[in-house]
Amino acid sequence: MVEQVEPSGVEGHPKSDLGRRLTRRREELGLSRGETAERAGMAPGYLQYLEEQPATAPGMSALLRLAGALHTTVRDLTGGAVDLPPGPGRASPHPEFTELSTQECRTLLATHGVGRVAVPTVSGPVIVPVNYSVVEGAVVFRTADGTTPAQAAGCHVAFEVDRIDEAFSQGWSVLVRGHARTVTDPDDVRRLTERAYSLPWAGGERDVWVRIDPLALTGRRITA
């Protein structure tokens, strides 16, 4: 029986879409594989199998237990929500809305990932997603000449990043307002390239670095 697979004691790399989503979600919650398996009422070896094997087909019972243990939904674990915008679930009946402190905003912003930059253009403001990093307190992203994100240089812009937890109808958002400029100094460009969290997901030649120095940093959190 699959659920009796013994754990090796060493966590390998996820090889399937489900495995990657399981691993990412429990790491977001700070849970080990053993803790997650205990919460879900399954053997750690079975969870290892689900995370590391290239092709797995767990039953709905196992998926429901894992979704409950990881405070998420079966749809999110299986990728059914990948083409949907965040937040289609119902609001919590008793939400709590709070303002984030500046330090909380900095901490959440520094988690890196994908954010949205609002760029003023001749036809009006345009909002586009970019892969970003935080270096020396500034938001930095890489783009290409002639693109919409590149038009941020020389302007006062807004940059937003957020996280939505569909299972609990809660989340947070951080807003940065500041001046954007193109980084041209070769040493600065080399340092940013070395310290960048990730390459742009869009691929291609994107060797123009844009830096946003925050003038205002605010954030909000909604909890159930």
Task: Indicate which CATH number applies to the domain containing 110.
Answer: 2.30.110.10
Flag whether 14 is in a domain: yes
- Ranking 86-95, 100-109, 135-144, 214-223 by mean pLDDT, the lowest is 86-95
Residue 155 structure tokens: 């302007």
Q: Which residues of 124-136 are buried (b: 16+ CB within 10 A; e: fewer)?
A: eeeeeebbbbbbe
Q: Which residue has the higher pLDDT, 139 or 9?
A: 139
Domain boundary, last residue among 13, 46, 78: 78
Helix or strand or coil: residue 130?
strand
Whole-structure pTM value: 0.68
Distance in angstroms (rounded) separating the CA atoms of residues 206 and 209: 8
Domain-located, residue 11: yes
How does pLDDT run across 121-170, given as a tens digit for each residue?
A: 888 899 999 999 999 899 999 999 989 999 999 999 999 999 887 667 78
Whether residue 156 sits in one domain with residue 69: no
Minimal CA–CA distance to 105: which of 159, 27, 154? 159
CA distance 205 to 117: 20
29, part of any domain? yes
% the chain with pLDDT above 70? 88
Say if residue 116 is in the same domain as residue 163: yes
Core vs surface per residue 145-165: b (16+ CB within 10 A) or e: eebebbbbbeeebbbbbbebb
Are residues 155 and 123 part of one domain? yes
Q: Are residues 177 and 140 in the same domain?
A: yes
Q: What is the mean pLDDT of the chain?
A: 86
Kindly state whether residues 58 and 121 are assigned to the same domain: no
Task: Report yes or no on 135 lying in a domain.
Answer: yes
Do 133 and 218 sit in the same domain of this protein? yes
135: containing domain: 96-223
Is residue 88 assigned to a domain? Answer: no
Domain termination site, one of 34, 52, 78: 78
Query: Would residue 83 count as lying in a domain?
Result: no
Do 70 and 115 lie in one domain? The reply is no
CATH of the domain at 43: 1.10.260.40
Asked if 102 and 201 sit in the same domain, the reply is yes
If one counts the domains in the chain, the total is: 2
Comparison of pLDDT for 172 and 168, the residue scoring more = 172
Percent of the chain with pLDDT over 90: 52
Which position has the higher pLDDT, 93 or 184?
184
